[in-house]
Each structure stands twice: as structure tokens, then as C-alpha cells.
Amino acid sequence: MRERLAGPISVDEVLGLVRIEDPHLKARAVVLGHKVKVSTLRLQSFKLHGTACVTCGIAGAAFFVERTNQETPHLNLYTADNILMTRDHIVATADGGLDTIENSQTMCFPCNCAKDSKAHIRKCEEMDKKQGECK
Ligand SMILES: [Zn+2]
């Protein structure tokens, strides 16, 4: 179950905190009282590639600090209609794509779910179980 802890926080404010560096360095910042990672590939991809879905064009409008099942709080980006924005692998990792910023693009959750790839369907099923939001 996903729990919303704080927000909204403007896209500009969050992207201003995002560090373009090795995600393994685990850079963090305090946002509205919550310590969150700010150099994940997902956040770097939003900063470098923009917040609009490459497939349907809808764009992220605000970030929220959220956590799922008592995990560490993290930043999630949503559209004005509360659609979650995700990082998509251009070439699926199951097809040999690398987990790098160059192989990343911004995609909304429904388009990511619909992407015609077994790897994505699998990923969606996992996310579905975890978040209960895949449509
Ligand atoms: Zn989309």
C-alpha cells in the first residue's frame, strides 16, 4: 500500500535538488522533513529527459514524498490527474538493454504498462502487486 507522506512539491524545486552523478553514491536531501534519495536514475532521467511521457505526452505536475509498505520514503512524480510518471527502459533489460541514463526515458505508468514487451508486462504485474495501480 502506498502512503503519501508530504507534498505537493514543485517539479522545479525537486529537479533543482537532483544530482547528476553515480546513483550508487546515494546522495540524499531533506524534503519537507523527509530524507530522500536525489540521484536515482529515475530522478536523473526526469531532470535530463523532461517530465513528459514520450508516448502520450502527458507531463508530471508535482512531486510527493511517498512510501510503499513501510519502505524508505521516496519522491514520486504525478500528473495533475494523479497519474504516476515512471522511468522506462528504451531497450528492455530483458532484451539486453542497460540500466543507464542513456537507456532511460520518461513514460507515464499506463503507457509503460501497455508497452508491448514481455519484460514490461512482467514488470507491470510486479508493480500491480506492489502498488495496485496498473490499469
Ligand atoms: Zn503516457
pLDDT in tens, 34-57: 999 999 999 999 999 999 999 999
Q: Is residue 64 part of a domain?
A: yes
pLDDT of the residue at 113: 87
Residues 6+ away with beta carbon under 8 Å from 129: none
* Grid cell at residue 122: 512482467
Q: What DSSP state is assigned to residue 85? A: E
Q: Is residue 133 part of a domain?
A: no
Confidence of residue 115 (pLDDT cuts 50, 70, 90): confident
The mean predicted confidence, pLDDT, of the chain is: 89
Q: How many domains does the chain have?
A: 1
Q: Is residue 131 part of a domain?
A: no
Ligand 1 centroid distance, CA of 59 (Å): 8
The CA-to-CA distance between both ends of the chain, in Å, stands at 16
Q: Is residue 62 part of a domain?
A: yes
Q: Is residue 24 part of a domain?
A: yes
Ligand 1 centroid distance, CA of 134 (Å): 13
pLDDT per residue over 4-26, tens digit each? 999 999 999 999 999 999 999 99
Q: Is residue 26 part of a domain?
A: yes
pLDDT of the residue at 26: 92
Ligand 1 centroid distance, CA of 25 (Å): 30
Ligand 1 centroid distance, CA of 100 (Å): 21
Q: Is residue 18 part of a domain?
A: yes
Ligand 1 centroid distance, CA of 56 (Å): 4
pLDDT per residue over 52-110, tens digit each? 999 999 999 999 999 998 889 999 999 999 999 999 999 988 889 999 999 999 999 99
For residue 108, which phi and psi values (nearest 5 degrees)?
Answer: -75, 160
CA distance 57 to 106: 10
Q: Is residue 127 part of a domain?
A: no
Ligand 1 centroid distance, CA of 91 (Å): 17
Res 132 pLDDT > 80: no
* Grid cell at residue 29: 536531501
What range does the domain containing 24 cover? 2-108
